[in-house]
Amino acid sequence: MEKSYVLIGCELGAENEIVEKLKKIDKVKDARVVYGDYDIVVEAEADTESQMDNLITKRIRQLSKVRSTMTLGVVS
């Protein structure tokens, strides 16, 4: 099982819109608006590294108004 936290920087004012979209994506366990250098934190779980890569590169990063991401892979 792969687990990651994805930190997202987005366009000003788009935080809640993006969180609602993220929560509808399979393998996204939670998404929250946060204060600080990033705007949103996503908790994601996938069965394989390949599935996690696809989730991040083809689903999360492709959402409109997402400007940047940083992925923190959990070491178990």
Quick check: pTM over 0.85?
Answer: yes
CA angle 43, 66, 47 (to 5 degrees): 30
42 phi and psi angles, rounded to 5 deg: -115, 135
The string of pLDDT tens digits covering residues 34-58 is: 999 999 999 999 999 999 999 999 9
What are the boundaries of each domain within the chain?
Answer: 2-73
Contacts of 21 (CB under 8 A, 6+ apart): 63
Question: Number of C-alpha atoms within 13 angstroms, CB side, residue 49?
Answer: 4
CATH architecture under which domain 2-73 falls: 2-Layer Sandwich (3.30)
The string of pLDDT tens digits covering residues 9-24 is: 999 999 999 999 999 9
Contacts of 73 (CB under 8 A, 6+ apart): 2, 3, 4, 52
